[in-house]
Amino acid sequence: MAKWRTGEDGDAGTLMNHSMLRECTPARRDGQTIALPLCDVLAQNCQMMSHSRRSRDLVRTSSIGFHGEYLWRERYSDWGQLIWASRGAISVMVGQSLWLVPARSGLWLPPATTHDVRMIGRGVLRLVFIARARARALPKTPAVRALTPLLREILRRVLARDTLTTADPRDGRLLGVLVDELSEVSPAPFDLPMPTDPRAIRAAALVREHPAQPPDAITIARHAGASVRTLERVFRAETGLAFGAWRLRARLMHAMILLANGESVTRTGIAAGFAGTSAFVHAFRRTTGTTPGAYATPGVRSRTSPVSSQTGVPSSTGAEIKNARG
């Protein structure tokens, strides 16, 4: 269990993992306990910021240290936001698409996008919220963006300032550079579109439940209550991917999570159902444009090494939210 760090804005709340589904610890603000309702996985963020303060903000930032597996359900913000992790793995469910945010990448979400965030392993989740009026120049749909060296440096400066406001001309200039850089970065395809047909949903669930020993198409079709040809047609119509391509992408996304949590390339390939390391490396490179070894950065592999002061915050047991104000 962890609490939002209480700041001058009165932010408060609690974060729970899957072993704490029936617990909810009250948070404190200005020395007073705030009773929070019983929650499923993540309690609400009690925002008590004054309207005058909110109206001046251009950018806000948040940091979440996590250790284990956490699910943040039905997040919503009127602000656009960029989400990434300095370490560990995060996935985001938006509508019928599951997005994996790979290493050295961030997920852009336009304003008013309801989504679930799953944090797996040990790391630090970073969020940069951009005011709706300033987010108009950015994509209108979710997209994974590569964090280029320039973009990482811009984000480092934004995080160091914590909040950008209209009161400081330097903040406006820094935000302008951030928006320009986000607009120019090419999107990377790391989403897994989810089907809506009940038969395809059953098929997708079976594939994702058994990545190490993926069942063949006939077994999946029998479980789903449809023919292989029907599943091929439904998956292509609802996800834009052939059934085989969807199954491969699901296994590779599982592999990315393992790599992000420090698993070796060899063991990851086995856990993702590949016959050998070479087959895994080939499929990974063909789909993502990089090798599993390059994807698993040294900072990600080391489960016990401290988080860099430039890219994260000191790791801690459990999860902790700082300034969650979006």
**What band does 30 get if pLDDT is binned at 50, 70 and 90?**
very low
Average pLDDT over residues 58-74: 87
Instruction: Indicate the number of domains in the chain.
Output: 2
Q: Is residue 16 part of a domain?
A: yes
215: amino acid identity, one letter:
P
Q: What is the mean pLDDT of the chain?
A: 76
Q: Is residue 221 part of a domain?
A: yes
Q: Rounded to an integer, what distance in angstroms lies between the CA atom of residue 25 and that of residue 22?
A: 10
The 10 Å CB-count burial string (b at 16+, else e) for 123-160 is: bbbbbbbbbeebbeebeeebbbbebeeebbebbeebbe
pLDDT at 148: 87
In tens, the pLDDT along 274-300 reads: 999 999 999 999 887 788 988 875 333
111 pLDDT more than 80: yes
Q: Is residue 99 part of a domain?
A: no
Instruction: Read off the tokens for 235.
Output: 């998956």
Q: Is residue 20 part of a domain?
A: yes
Q: Is residue 310 part of a domain?
A: no
Q: Is residue 75 part of a domain?
A: no
The whole domain housing 211 covers 192-297
**What band does 120 get if pLDDT is binned at 50, 70 and 90?**
confident
In tens, the pLDDT along 173-231 reads: 999 999 999 987 666 656 889 999 999 999 999 999 999 998 999 999 999 999 999 99
Residue 144 in contact with residue 99, Cβ under 8 Å?
A: yes
Average pLDDT over residues 95-116: 88
Q: Is residue 161 part of a domain?
A: no
Q: What angle do CA 315, 22, 73 make, to 5 degrees?
A: 60
Cβ neighbourhood burial of 116 (10 Å; 0-12, 13-18, 19+): middle
Q: Is residue 158 part of a domain?
A: no
From the list 112, 79, 119, 70, the residue with the least C-alpha distance to 94 is 112
pLDDT at 55: 65
From the list 227, 160, 159, 146, the residue with the least C-alpha distance to 189 is 146
In tens, the pLDDT along 146-177 reads: 888 999 999 999 999 999 999 999 999 999 99
Answer yes or no: pTM beyond 0.75.
Answer: no
Q: For residue 317, how far is the Cα from the chain centroid?
A: 19
CATH number, domain containing residue 207: 1.10.10.60
In tens, the pLDDT along 72-102 reads: 888 888 999 999 988 777 889 998 888 888 7
Q: Rounded to an integer, what distance in angstroms lies between the CA atom of residue 46 and that of residue 63?
A: 16
Query: Nearest 10 degrees: CA dihedral of 137, 54, 177, 86?
Result: -100
pLDDT at 197: 96
Half-sphere exposure of 45 (CA within 13 A, CB side): 23
316 pLDDT more than 70: no
- Quote the percentage of the chain above a pLDDT of 90: 45
292: amino acid identity, one letter:
P
311 pLDDT more than 60: no
Instruction: Read off the tokens for 72.
Output: 């943040």
**What band does 58 get if pLDDT is binned at 50, 70 and 90?**
very high
pLDDT at 297: 57
255 pLDDT more than 80: yes
